[in-house]
Structure 1
């Protein structure tokens, strides 16, 4: 057993399992089984570390399967099987300290920077498509990430100003809304009675989606 284990939670669907590391939002990979998900998580550790370049965050290196400790399992749903982590985890309900808030904001900024680097590297280059010609082009992928983040922002209880929809404004509003949620400025239940996302779930879902598409762009550049 590792002296400094990394806590992992498994979200288990019918056909797909996600391995999720709550302490490192965005480090989350899937596979057809629990073992495959854990191995995929480990395989992507160097890429996750690279994504944190310039953030000042120190990610552990030289990891092996023995360093991953499964702390819990939750049952997934159709979204899990479709290919996105969807289920809340026990740590998601924990209160967030001011230090943790700052950490989350730095990590989100790092994931956005990684996505921007990937998108800039792909500009003017061909991108491989699937065997049947599927796959978004770069412009559509960038737009998709932005549209998804607007939906995530709404789930947290925030909204964009009507006069601005650019990336920098959206990201600024997301960070401000995250802080407001952590500090109790946003009710946990929306005006129509629906539960809002917790700050921890918001951060890990946003970071996962951003990095997942950053890595997709990198892998599809010809």
Structure 2
């Protein structure tokens, strides 16, 4: 792919999302469309670590040459903090080289999340009123959501499968196999593949970065 700088926007009155289509998981929100784009840009060094796991270059260049190809009105999900909209450009399938690139970045997102969960403190920094979840609760939430996401593309991954590390690895193997199957046979699924990969990677990275930001390792408690 020659251009890897495409972004799409969801704009709602109180919150907007900017998502990099060519970099699954690189989706950030802000109070306005311009603020969302700025936050997306500011996260380039953080997403770079994910791309490095995948062995893919181009993150920093993309962040300086964004090309907005679609902007839609957001909804309650947008304002709640979820990039919910499926853009028309995502109602398609991947070319073979782009399929492998997207899968590599999804796998890298999983790996980044897993490693973050092992590295950060068990206790997370709380909000001003003492609210917020600790590490193990965040990790369990993300893992428990993975089968629900996978069902959107028809992957055979029962919820109980992710209860162990071995089961989680098998779940992810099945997801990748299903991505290949859907793309090669151009199967219709509840979530089109481009949106599924973007949304699935976003969820794990959003919480990986949450844990990183709230890590208390080396800090006074």
Q: Shorter-chain TM-score: what band? A: 0.7 to 0.9
1:218 partnered with 2:212: yes
Aligned to 2:146: 149
Trace 1:5-24 onto structure 2 (pairs within 5 A): 6-24=5-23
Q: How many residues get paired?
A: 210
User: Is the CA contact (8 Å cut-off) linking 2:50 and 2:105 kept in structure 1?
Assistant: no
Aligned to 2:106: 108
Trace 1:1-222 onto structure 2 (pairs within 5 A): 6-61=5-60, 67-123=65-121, 125-160=122-157, 164-165=161-162, 166-184=167-185, 186=187, 188=188, 196-222=190-216
Q: Deviations over 1:181-203 (max 9, x none)?
A: 112274x25xxxxxx10110000
Larger helix proportion of the pair: 2
Q: Deviations over 1:129-181 (max 9, x none)?
A: 12222222111111111122111111111121587333211211111111111
TM-score where L is the length of structure 1: 0.87
Aligned-pair Cα RMSD in Å: 2.0
Q: How many angstroms apart in 1 are the aligned matches of 2:161 and 2:63?
A: 45
Q: Which runs of 4+ in 1 moved over 4 A?
A: 62-65
Q: How many angstroms apart in 1 are the aligned matches of 2:68 and 2:36?
A: 12
Q: Secondary structure at the match of 1:23?
A: coil
Instruction: Give unmatched runs, 5+ long, in structure 2.
Output: 217-221
Distance 1:62 1:137, change over 3 A: same
